[in-house]
């Protein structure tokens, strides 16, 4: 009996030593959990707009108002479940990139891209929208907040090529007057066109 306990004790010690050697000890799990927590907190602090999806008829109106055509590249800033990039790719056959910070939304949107079989045209990048280089886009779509639109305004005006279109669901751009405003089911959609460099702001 004594002998059996001794063997059990030695067995447990060897197992602990082996897992520690593999690096799977409690310390490692603790460190990994801390890193995940820190990353989550970092992402949370960067999330400046809550997730509220645009109804599909608003998505359709945004892309229609932007007059999306072959060769355009659509960027959706804060892309949620990916409905704008999926629609741009599926309906207009254009390249569309969504920028999103929330891992859950990123997972969901990538699933939607696969489900709708538009992987060749649509993609989602995990990136803070305030750091996105917009120079590759010809159409930018946004459903954000008034102060976030204003934070993005200098980047839109300096990085997009003249003639690029910006559409926003619900919120305007302060004193940058829109070229068009349309309503759909009680929602407002704004359109701006990037002016030629040096042109006075409308
Ligand atoms: C109002 S939802 C719009 C979703 C989608 N564009 C639509 O119209 O259906 C805003 C999205 O922005 C994302 N978001 C918030 N802050 C962000 C940031 N700093 N960088 C990237 N995405 C962000 C949110 O997670 C959310 O999915």
DSSP states of the chain? -HHHHHHHHHHHHHHHHHHHHHT-SHHHHHHHHHHHHHHHHHHHHH--S---PPPHHHHHHHHHHTT--TT-EEEEES-TTSHHHHHHHHHH--EEEEEE--HHHHHHHHHHHHHTT-TTTEEEEE--GGG--GGG-SEEEE---HHHHHHHHHHHHHHSPTT-EEEEES---TTS--SEEEEETTEEEEEEEPPPTTPPP-
Name the pLDDT band for 40 (thresholds 50, 70, 90): low
Q: What is the mean pLDDT of the chain?
A: 88
Which residue's C-alpha comes closest to atom 16 of ligand 1?
Answer: 47
Residue 54 CA, closest ligand 1 atom number: 9
Confirm or reject: Cβ of 176 under 6 Å from ligand 1.
no
More confident of the two residues 26 and 165: 165
Distance 197 CA to ligand 1 centre (A): 29
Which residue's C-alpha comes closest to atom 14 of ligand 1?
Answer: 78
**pLDDT reading at 21 higher than 60:** no
Mutate to test the pocket of ligand 1, among 59, 78, 105 (most ligand atoms within 8 A of CB): 78
pTM of the predicted structure, to 2 decimals: 0.84
Q: What is the reported pLDDT for 66?
A: 98
**pLDDT reading at 171 higher than 60:** yes
Residue 80 CA, closest ligand 1 atom number: 27
Name the pLDDT band for 147 (thresholds 50, 70, 90): very high
Which residue's C-alpha comes closest to atom 4 of ligand 1?
Answer: 80
Question: pLDDT per residue over 173-191, tens digit each?
Answer: 999 999 999 999 999 999 9
Residue 98 CA, closest ligand 1 atom number: 6
Which residue's C-alpha comes closest to atom 13 of ligand 1?
Answer: 78
| Lowest-confidence segment of 1-5, 25-29, 48-52, 119-123 by average pLDDT | 25-29
Confirm or reject: Cβ of 101 under 6 Å from ligand 1.
yes
Question: pLDDT per residue over 67-79, tens digit each?
Answer: 999 999 999 999 9
């Amino acid at each position: 009996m004594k002998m059996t306990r001794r063997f059990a004790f030695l067995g447990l010690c060897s197992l602990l030593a082996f897992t520690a050697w593999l690096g799977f000890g409690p310390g490692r799990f603790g460190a990994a959990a801390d890193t995940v927590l820190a990353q989550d907190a970092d992402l949370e602090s960067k999330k400046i707009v809550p997730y509220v999806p645009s109804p599909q008829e608003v998505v359709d109106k945004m892309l229609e108002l932007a007059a999306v055509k072959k060769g355009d590249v659509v960027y959706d800033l804060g892309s949620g479940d990916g409905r704008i990039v999926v629609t741009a790719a599926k309906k207009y056959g254009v390249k569309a990139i969504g920028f999103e910070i929330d891992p859950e939304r990123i997972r969901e949107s990538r699933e939607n891209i696969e489900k709708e079989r538009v992987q060749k045209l649509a993609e989602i990048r995990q990136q803070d929208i305030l750091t996105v280089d917009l120079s590759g886009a010809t159409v930018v779509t946004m459903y954000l907040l008034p102060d976030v639109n204003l934070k993005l305004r200098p980047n839109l005006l300096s990085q997009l090529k003249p003639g690029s279109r910006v559409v926003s669901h619900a919120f305007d751009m302060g004193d940058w007057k829109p070229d068009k405003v349309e309503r759909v089911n009680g929602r407002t959609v704004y359109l701006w066109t990037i002016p030629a460099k040096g042109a006075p702001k409308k």
